[in-house]
Amino acid sequence: MFPAIVIPARFASTRFPGKPLHHLAGKPMIQHVWERCRLAKRTETILIATDDDRIRLAAEGFGARVVMTSPDHPSGTDRIAEAAEALPQCDVFLNVQGDEPLVCPELIDRLLAALENDPAADMVTAAVPVSAAEGFTDPNAVKVVITADGTALYFSRSPIPHHRDPGSSPPPWLRHKGIYGYRRDFLRRFVSWPPTPLEQAECLEQLRALEHGARIRVITTTDDSPGVDTPQQAEILEKQMLPQNSP
């Protein structure tokens, strides 16, 4: 297996324009993500995929390999698929979001290993066990239910599974973590499919894969490194990161 990590990064975020270049603890956010990915052991192939020259110049400035992609992609997965064409030697691609400056290298290695060890899996992703008290009703927190062998049954913005009898022990709750691995052939098929009804209802593109019968392997992890969606979240995260970067 020849894996690659692809980091999609676009400048025109609605809630946080220029997010990949926002400085955290003295570095652009995208640089933190790239440096964390470099700590993974299962691949040295890392590519930043962007549609903006400002991001390209910054990334090349700290030594990253960059590919320019179309500004018209509807999702990060479509950007990954275009970037994959620049890596013909690779057959597996891990999509690490450009707004996860504390992404866990060990989780990256576990996800890549899962695809290598499970030939029947089309995709792989991760989930964090949580309690109902941890914002589980928040529609921005995506939930997933899985089979006994760790295959995704469904993803939803609603709390699933429903705990009908409050007098019984609660079911295992899992919050989805937005990191994905794909095999090349499946990635090509995925972006050729139009959006599906469940995908459109929940605004979750991974449901497109399930609606087409794909097998998504879900790795459970205690790593709960936060993503950054807003400037306010960036400010909170920087306060957590500064001690790590202090002399």
pLDDT band per the 50, 70, 90 thresholds, residue 117: very high
What's the residue count for the chain?
247
What are 143's strand-pairing partners?
Answer: 156, 175
Instruction: Tell the CATH topology of 3-224.
Output: Spore Coat Polysaccharide Biosynthesis Protein SpsA; Chain A (3.90.550)
pLDDT band per the 50, 70, 90 thresholds, residue 15: confident
Mean pLDDT (the chain, rounded): 92
Task: Report how far apart, in Å, the C-alpha atoms of 2 and of each of 88, 103, 246 are.
Answer: 10, 21, 36
Residue 14 in this model has a pLDDT that exceeds 80: no
Q: Give which of 86, 82, 109 is closest to 181, Cα–Cα.
A: 109
pLDDT of residue 132: 73
Q: Give which of 181, 173, 53 is closest to 110, Cα–Cα.
A: 181
pLDDT for 33-64, tens place per residue?
A: 999 999 999 999 999 999 999 999 999 999 99
Residue 244 in this model has a pLDDT that exceeds 70: no
pLDDT for 171-193, tens place per residue?
A: 889 999 999 999 999 999 999 99
Q: Give which of 156, 144, 141, 159 is closest to 227, Cα–Cα.
A: 141
pTM of the full predicted structure? 0.92
Handedness of CA 195, 198, 202, 207 (dihedral sign): negative
pLDDT of residue 247: 38
For residues 125 and 37, give the distance between their C-alpha atoms in angstroms, rounded to a whole number.
16
| Biggest alpha carbon–alpha carbon distance for the chain | 58
pLDDT of residue 245: 45
Residue ranges of the domains in the chain? 3-224
Q: Checking DSSP bridges between strand 27-28 and strand 143-146, what pairing results, if any?
A: unpaired
| 3-class DSSP state of 112 | helix
pLDDT band per the 50, 70, 90 thresholds, residue 224: confident
DSSP string, 184-210: HHHHHHHHHSPP-HHHHHHT-THHHHH
pLDDT band per the 50, 70, 90 thresholds, residue 243: low
